[in-house]
Every structure is written in C-alpha cells, then in structure tokens.
Amino acid sequence: MYHHVKKLMYTVRVDEPDPKFGNMLLEQFGGANGELAAAMQYSIQGLNCEDPGRKDLLMDIGTEELSHLEIVGTLARMHLRPLKSVREEAEADPLIAIAGGGGVNLFNSMGNPWTADYLKITGELDVDLRSNIAAEARAKIVYERLINFCRDPGTKDALQFLMTREITHMRAFSLALESMGKPSLSIGSIAPTPGLVDQFFNDSTGQGDLGEVDSRGPWNEGESWEFVEAPAFKDLRGAENTGPAIRAQSAPPEGLEAVQGLLVDELRDLLHAEKQLLKALPKMRKAAHSRQLQTLLQHHFNETEEQVERLNESLRILGSAAHAKPCKGMAGLIEEGEEVIAEGKKKEEAPADLALIGAALRVEHYEIAAYTNARNLALQLELPVVAQLLTLSLGEEQNAGQLLDQVAQPLMSAARMPRNVILDK
C-alpha cells in the first residue's frame, strides 16, 4: 500500500522564482528520464519480480522515486508561480499559464505528454537491472545540467540532493546485478552463435571529410575478436579477398542426443497410436449412421495408413528401428470410443453420431498435440525431411478435426428436432 505523509523528503526553498527554469524542471517531472518514469519502471518491474530480495529493492527505490517526483513538482510549481498573475511571464509559456493555470502537469519541458513508452520493462531481471542503471545515469546527467543552468541557491541544493540519490540507486542496482553472478554478456538462456559472436564488422571504412579514420581498440581487437574488413564489399573483391568471412552458420543445438532420443520416443508412441487407430476406425465407420460421417471416417482411415508409413520413414532417417512404443493415451481414448459405440446402439441416430464425433475429435486433438511436438523437435534437430513428413500428417489431423465439426452441424439441428415432426420430403 502507499501512504502519503505531508512532508517532503527534502524541504525545498526557492528565493527567486524563475518561470523559464520552472519549465526546464518539468523535464524531470514528466520527461523520458524523469522521476515519474523511474517510479513506474521500478515499481512495475518489482510487481513482476519473482526474486523476493530484488523485488524489495525495486519497490523501495520505486517508492523513493515518487518522493522525488513530489520534490521536483514542488520546485517547478514554486518557479512557475509568476505565470498565474504576471502577463509578461505567462507569455513565456502559454500552455502552462492558460491550459494548466500556472501549475505542473504530466508534460516534459517541451509540452509533450508523459507516456508509458518511456518505460523499459522486459520481465528479465538482469536485463531490467541494466536498464535501471542506464536510467539512473541519464537522470544524473539531467540533474547536473539543471544545476548548471540554475541561479537560485535553494533550488541548487535540492537538485544536488536529487542528483546524489541517482548515484545511490545506480550503485544499488549495480550490486544487485553483480550479486546474481551472471557474466556481463550472458543475456537470456539461448547461447549466441559461436564464432559469429566474436566477429567485429568494419562497416564504416575509409577517411572522412573531417579526418575520421578507421580506428582500432579493445572494442574490436585483442582477446577473441576477429576483425572482418568491410563485409559489404567482400563478394565484389573476388580472389583478392583473403580476410575472414562472416560466420553466419547457426549455433548447433545443445544436447542433440537427448533431443533426438526424445523425438524417437515420440515417433514410436505415435506409431503405436496410429496402429491402434487403424483397428478402431472401421468399427467407428460401421457404427456411424450419417453417410457423410461414414465417408469421412473411411477417408481418414486411408490417411492414417499413409501416416504410419511416414512415421516408419522418419524413424528410418533417424537410424532407429520402427518399433512401436505402447501409447496408453490412445488406448484410453479408443476404450472410451468403444463405450460410445456400445451406448449409441440405445440412442437415436443423430445423438449417437454426435457422440461418435465427440470421441473422434478427442482422438484428433490428441494426435495434433503429439504431431506438433514431434515436428518441433525435428525442426530443433535441423531435420527438414522428418519435419516435412510430420507436418503433412499434422495438417491431415487438423483438417480431419475441422471436417468433423462441419459434419456435426446438421446433426445438431436434427438432434434438436421433436420426434413428432415429419420432414417435408
């Protein structure tokens, strides 16, 4: 919760109001690097933070920034006071004088409204802490420039207090980041492409009109750096090009053996599922009353035979025997389907077929999930042929689900129709 105490964190004193300087102060009230932006950024990061200790840090500093906002707002209001009554001062900034009544509002020094676009919130704690360090550094520079343009001693003292707290916050954020023990260039969880990450592209070459020249330093030479000279011209130089080329090859997936083993298990599970379905589909077709449903189930039986062949081919590409792994999920779904068939014998045709479609849809969604996961594993392993085979089967399962929905629509209307209604032939 928040509670407002009627006391400023730092008591401000303005001896000589300066409306033009008051307008400058609005940069720290409603500007991109201002106190409101900082308060919102840190507080929302804190709300998102799962780490109790660093959440407390973010909420503490976010709340302090609200106190800073109150100081800056009070300073600005005191400097802008002449705009309320003095015509000549009001002419300096009609927006504040006329639209705002000579007071502060959530605008920057140019009259642009505050926006949440100022906030840098990623939900990745170490990335957010780096953003906060940079935000404090920018705010420190803004305060420094305000101090340099300020003529009022009391205002300077308040600005000095606020500027100093920016350094305190920057220090706290830096230590919090350091305590996480993450290397400075370790961002996220996906590793960068080896080789490519160590290449520096010399994309600005030659000597400029103002004497600029190509420069070398620790940012592009030494340690593991590989200097790539003018990449844009490499293809034009032909045989003369002897320098290193761009290492654009993607990083190989980590844990290839484990991922491939998982894919093999998925394929064998699917193989058993499809073979069980080949036995179940003729029973479902025989139990169906709707000719459309019968045709659809027969068509999907033919597709399932092809899907079995694709799974055998995928396992062959992976160098694995086409042994089926018992699929308990499909076994359970087929058992439910058999119960639906048995119960359907006691129902009228439309409700019986609708129940049968429900059982078939459960099967389709189960297979869609399995094929989606297997296809994604194949893509991760960079196996385009296997991925394509699985994508074909996935598309057939998705299409079968849509067709079952279409067949169900007229059956629902028929199931709602009273028994004593005689259809007009």
User: What would the pLDDT profile of 234-258 be if each residue is shown by its tens digit?
Assistant: 766 554 556 777 776 655 555 678 8
Neighbouring C-beta atoms of residue 422, cutoff 10 Å: 5
> Do 230 and 325 fall into the same domain?
no
> Do 230 and 141 fall into the same domain?
no
> Do 264 and 115 fall into the same domain?
no
Residue 169 lies in a domain: yes
Residue 7 lies in a domain: no
pLDDT at 109 over 70: yes
Contact predicate 47/110, CB 8 Å: no
Supply the CATH number for residue 31's domain: 1.20.1260.10
Residue 10 lies in a domain: no
pLDDT bracket for residue 421 (50, 70, 90)? very low
Choose between 51 and 94: higher pLDDT: 51
> Do 300 and 360 fall into the same domain?
yes
Contact predicate 228/196, CB 8 Å: no
Residue 86 lies in a domain: yes
Give residues with Cβ within 8 angstroms of 339, minimum separation 6.
none
CA dihedral 369, 374, 376, 382 (to 10 degrees): -170
> Do 366 and 324 fall into the same domain?
yes
Residue 424, pLDDT score: 41
Out of 134-138, 197-201, 414-418, the most confident range is 134-138
Question: The dihedral of CA 192, 195, 197, 201: what is its sign?
Answer: negative
Helix (H) or strand (E) holding 390: helix 384-416
> Do 111 and 162 fall into the same domain?
yes
> Do 161 and 270 fall into the same domain?
no
> Do 274 and 337 fall into the same domain?
yes
In the chain, how many domains are there? Answer: 3
Average pLDDT over residues 320-336: 92
Average pLDDT over residues 259-273: 93
Choose between 248 and 305: higher pLDDT: 305
> Do 237 and 339 fall into the same domain?
no
- Segments forming the whole domain that contains residue 232: 196-202+218-245
Residue 189 lies in a domain: no
Which range among 24-33, 233-242, 336-345, 357-366 shows the weakest confidence by mean pLDDT? 233-242
Residue 332 lies in a domain: yes
How far apart are the C-alpha atoms of 425 and 133, rounded to whole Å?
79
Residue 107, pLDDT score: 87
> Do 237 and 336 fall into the same domain?
no
> Do 284 and 399 fall into the same domain?
yes
Residue 13 lies in a domain: no
**pTM: predicted TM-score of the whole model, two decimal places:** 0.57
Contact predicate 330/300, CB 8 Å: no
> Do 146 and 291 fall into the same domain?
no
The token duo for 196 is 């490519």
Residue 187 lies in a domain: no
pLDDT tens, position by position, 133-176? 999 999 999 999 999 999 999 999 999 999 999 999 999 999 99
